[in-house]
Structure 1
């Protein structure tokens, strides 16, 4: 173990003294990032066992009183030290994957609402993206695919909109790989992932890489949900702009899109 034995002893002493609701909350936040967590997360309720404490803010206050979390004095947020998180994660060996990881994934996913492309949602989502990336990363490593792929994709889309392309791309590629394996290349969800990655490639001026991905996305959506579906229309609009960005003529644009439309 990469921390002093005294840390584990201190953690165990404190952990033994808090109630079950506080323990469950600590197990869950152990799978988040070390970045500040908004207390608004506590408003997202998960199923609880009969007779269990139902006030998550009381559980947070209890953890704070034992220094297992640290609440910010001037913002509605809290942090957990990385060593506390590590010891807590290592203690969750009763089942695999740990129930708290599954809960944490569902917890952050339920909180991650709003279109990442809408700037009005950025204030909320910006606080959640580090935690979405962390918990989805842990879930991916143990083979949990849903809602892991969606969280990775949404986080990547948010980072794309913020022009943090280097961080966005691996998240989008991993989301695509998960959904390709889960649903196959002809599924409409996979088509959306192709289109999202193509959009990033277009934004980073890799147009020759973007074009075949967008073509696959459009072909898949037309075949699976039809030309009138909103997803198809979105991809069609994006694809229509791509040849122009590549300085193709009007005839070349028509010739590139027409065969796909004739699949109807």
Structure 2
């Protein structure tokens, strides 16, 4: 097969992605090889890396993927099945616009294969919720990162996500509200426990440097204020609370060495617990919307 220079670049990128493996083994590697074959319109390789059994049945999902270089997002492996968020150039739209889809894989005795039919069904008959699912993935990633470094645009993203609910059915809105209320209660309790721990540390160590006491006092005040707003949680109040937790983590990292050392592990564990609860919240929403798609 004759390859263009750009196709050669795609090949090089995929080989780099595979990190020197002799053959694709992990779901990520197999997905990369599969989309490489799609980009080259190589039916035989598509058969090799997917559940498609005959080259003659290759239809490219009724669109042209030539030179389409994918990027990959979240990977979920559940026993013998896996899903990978995959972003490819949109068939139509502004330059740089990406089509977000899911590559489905199954594990056969000889290794992972892309589920050709299921992946194609998601492309040819997209769920009306695909857009909101994409936003969930993006917000989940942003929120997870926000605990290690404050994210300035996170609240705006949450606000935009909240407004997007208006385009969907009342039942979906209701399910989202139920999930937000459950998560709001969990987040509120965790913020209260963290605030009380900070206040206890302030009472116990009155000899701590003044600048360190100010850090804890400000953090406790903000946790209390934003936590109260979760009595009636919305995406906006959840965004506010999440940003406050990000700031709390950043503030605690600025404490002097050895100050409040007895509490440091406790605070770190509490922030890790909140991060896990947050990831579970977005996973819960994703599952609810998937069942509606």
TM-score by length of 1: 0.30
Whichever structure has more helix as a proportion of its residues is 1
Taking structure 2 as the reference length, the TM-score comes to 0.28
Q: Which has the higher contact order (CA 8 A, sep 6+)?
A: 2
More strand by share: 2
